[in-house]
Chains A and B, each alone.
Chain A
Amino acid sequence: MRLAKKDTVKALERRGIDAKTAETLCNAGFTMGKLKKASIEDVMKAGISKTSAGKVMEKLSKIDTKVTKTTKKVKKEERGAVTPLLIDSKLKGLPLPLSIIDELRTYLNKVKPTEAQLERILQMSVDAYERARIEPCEAVGIVAAQSIGEPGTQMTMRTFHYAGVAEINVTLGLPRLIEIADARKVPSTPIMRIKLEPEYARDREKARALGWKIEETNIIDVGSIAVDMAKMQVVIELNEKILSRRNITAEEIAKKVGAETNLDVQLEGLKLTVNPGRHSYRGLLQLVEDVKGITLKGVKGIHRIIIRKENGEYVLYTEGSALKRVLQFEGVNASRTKTNNINEIAEVLGIEAARNAIISEAMDTLREQGLEVDIRHIMLVADMVTAEGEVKQIGRHGVAGEKASVLSRAAFEVTVNHLLDAGVKGHVDELAGVTENVIVGQPIQLGTGDVELMYKAKE
């Protein structure tokens, strides 16, 4: 606090305000920012005479006018801007990743700097990039683990609450993070966000029709099922309203049920009767269950669809996920549709997409909890998990369990099994990793431990 005050006093003195006035201003709680916004009356309240208050205002505003003058100058210089061709040639040799070079190119072409400015921008970019680089031998894994683990402890305290899309419950917080790390085949609440092609996205009716097409429709959704004990048959009463809304006819249902059960189905108006033919009570009940499970329409696994308007376009949110089939529908914008089922993404779109999904899912869950973790830590985890072409779990059955070293694996979980197994098979531990060397008491291959010295002759 005191330091901040001193700085403010110094800054005021630099602008030509005498030390005494500056100090009284600071003691009254003024900072540079506040002073610039303050009026003469505000300043006088701090116990300063009208004349010196006026001086203070004048001096501060003078600075402001100076600043605006210099910005005008910069604008004039811009007229001598460099050509995109020069920008391209300058960008070519830079030791930067392609994505950053691309970003720089679009940015530079927008602001049109002069040649001197261009040089400076590029130099600063390279410097900033180098500063952000990790040095070789740095223990990045440990740092990543700590950087995700610490906010993780904060999450356990206020977790298990739901948020997200309107009526759909989404697993968030620590449970979701654990789910991602464990690489579960199916998340506990699979969700899809289906974006639509422009013509569907703007038309509510079209969006809704597509929604009904995708949503899984079972018999129970369109009517009620009853068992007629006396006649030993299953009776289905269809609801006309729902039928028209879901754009399906009673005839279609009758046909579908007939095909699925291989039984005789009779349709009278809106009443469907299925006659099993066999006269067993258990068989009849089994038939009811079978009929309930028949998918009449839509994609199996998409239990519910909710339409929302987001940024002027209609978006479908689903409970349940079936990426592969949903992407095939006409009107679905495949490149902007996503699911939170990472394994599904790996299967349908490939391992790189799965890696990106892991990163964005983990970042989103953390951000949703108000925790900001550097993306590079998450990227490292995602890289480790996907490096071998499939999404592996972090624990015993994945990354940790597949390490090359026996000692390292034994140090993690089920120690005896690993040691016994290694003994039986006569495995050799090369002591190449960190854990093994800690166990046997050697310097580890990290930091100074990974540097090998060599004699350098005089030049």
Chain B
Amino acid sequence: MDKFDKKYTRFEKARIIGARGLQIAMGAPVLISTKSYDPIDIAMLEFEKGVIPITVKRMSK
């Protein structure tokens, strides 16, 4: 069953990218090299590369 646990749901993905996007918008150092200036874009790229230092806390298990 742990196969499912590794994947993020679409809600978790949105929440992580949203939170990271906010950080970048407020001036946090970007963790990848990109030409983009859009914080959400950058956050999505970071998410795809797996460099965002955020994960989700899962209640039950």
Interface residues of A, Cβ cutoff 8 Å to B: 95, 130, 133, 135-138, 447-448, 450-458
Please indicate the chain A residues that have their CB under 8 angstroms from the CB of B4 in the complex: 95, 130, 133
Please indicate the chain B residues that have their CB under 8 angstroms from the CB of A457 in the complex: 53
Q: Are A448 and B54 in contact (CB under 8 A)?
A: no
How many Å lie between the Cα of A454 and that of B59 in the bound state? Answer: 12
Shortest A57–chain B CB gap in Å is 50
Q: Are B19 and A453 in contact (CB under 8 A)?
A: yes
A95-B1, A95-B3, A95-B4 given; A450·B55 CB < 8 A: no
Shortest A410–chain B CB gap in Å is 27
Q: Are A455 and B54 in contact (CB under 8 A)?
A: yes
Please indicate the chain B residues that have their CB under 8 angstroms from the CB of A455 in the complex: 53-55
How many Å lie between the Cα of A130 and that of B15 in the bound state? Answer: 22
* B56: contacting residue among A130, A138, A452, CB under 8 A: A452
Please indicate the chain A residues that have their CB under 8 angstroms from the CB of B37 in the complex: none
Q: Are B53 and A456 in contact (CB under 8 A)?
A: yes
Q: Are A454 and B56 in contact (CB under 8 A)?
A: yes
Shortest A129–chain B CB gap in Å is 11
Minimal Cβ-Cβ distance residue in B for A454: B57
Q: Are A451 and B11 in contact (CB under 8 A)?
A: yes
Please indicate the chain B residues that have their CB under 8 angstroms from the CB of A451 in the complex: 11-12, 15-16, 56
Please indicate the chain B residues that have their CB under 8 angstroms from the CB of A453 in the complex: 15-16, 19, 54-57
The 4 A-B residue pairs with the shortest CB-CB distance, nearest first, are A456-B55, A135-B9, A451-B15, A452-B57
Q: Are A137 and B11 in contact (CB under 8 A)?
A: yes
A448-B15, A453-B15, A453-B19 given; A135·B53 CB < 8 A: no
Kindly state whether residue B10 has any CB partner on chain A within 8 Å. yes
Q: Are A447 and B11 in contact (CB under 8 A)?
A: yes
Q: Assuming A95-B3, A454-B55, what are 9 further A-B pairs, CB within 8 angstroms?
A: A137-B11, A138-B11, A448-B18, A453-B15, A453-B16, A453-B56, A454-B54, A455-B55, A458-B53
Minimal Cβ-Cβ distance residue in B for A458: B53
Shortest B3–chain A CB gap in Å is 6
Please indicate the chain A residues that have their CB under 8 angstroms from the CB of B57 in the complex: 452-454
Please indicate the chain B residues that have their CB under 8 angstroms from the CB of A454 in the complex: 54-57
Please indicate the chain A residues that have their CB under 8 angstroms from the CB of B12 in the complex: 137, 448, 451
Q: Are B56 and A136 in contact (CB under 8 A)?
A: no
Please indicate the chain A residues that have their CB under 8 angstroms from the CB of B59 in the complex: 452
Please indicate the chain A residues that have their CB under 8 angstroms from the CB of B56 in the complex: 451-454
Q: Are B3 and A448 in contact (CB under 8 A)?
A: no
Shortest B33–chain A CB gap in Å is 18
Minimal Cβ-Cβ distance residue in B for A135: B9
Please indicate the chain A residues that have their CB under 8 angstroms from the CB of B55 in the complex: 453-456
Kindly state whether residue B14 has any CB partner on chain A within 8 Å. yes
Q: Are B11 and A448 in contact (CB under 8 A)?
A: yes
Please indicate the chain B residues that have their CB under 8 angstroms from the CB of A447 in the complex: 11
Please indicate the chain A residues that have their CB under 8 angstroms from the CB of B15 in the complex: 448, 451, 453
* 7 A-B pairs (CB sep. < 8 Å): A95-B3, A135-B11, A448-B11, A453-B57, A455-B54, A456-B55, A457-B53
Shortest B15–chain A CB gap in Å is 4
Shortest B27–chain A CB gap in Å is 18
How many Å lie between the Cα of A130 and that of B3 in the bound state? Answer: 11
- Among A448, A451, A453, A456, which residue has the most Cβ atoms of chain B within 10 A? A451
Shortest A440–chain B CB gap in Å is 21
Please indicate the chain A residues that have their CB under 8 angstroms from the CB of B54 in the complex: 453-456
Instruction: Kindly identify, within residues 9 to 61 of chain B, every residue whose CB is under 8 Å from any CB belonging to chain A.
Output: 9-12, 14-16, 18-19, 52-57, 59
Please indicate the chain B residues that have their CB under 8 angstroms from the CB of A137 in the complex: 9, 11-12
A455-B53, A455-B54 given; A450·B11 CB < 8 A: yes
Please indicate the chain B residues that have their CB under 8 angstroms from the CB of A448 in the complex: 11-12, 14-15, 18
How many Å lie between the Cα of A136 and that of B56 in the bound state? Answer: 13
How many Å lie between the Cα of A458 and that of B31 in the bound state? Answer: 12
How many Å lie between the Cα of A455 and that of B11 in the bound state? Answer: 17
How many Å lie between the Cα of A456 and that of B4 in the bound state? Answer: 19
How many Å lie between the Cα of A95 and that of B3 in the bound state? Answer: 9
How many Å lie between the Cα of A130 and that of B1 in the bound state? Answer: 11
Shortest B58–chain A CB gap in Å is 8
How many Å lie between the Cα of A457 and that of B54 in the bound state? Answer: 8
Shortest B30–chain A CB gap in Å is 16
How many Å lie between the Cα of A7 and that of B15 in the bound state? Answer: 40
How many Å lie between the Cα of A133 and that of B1 in the bound state? Answer: 13
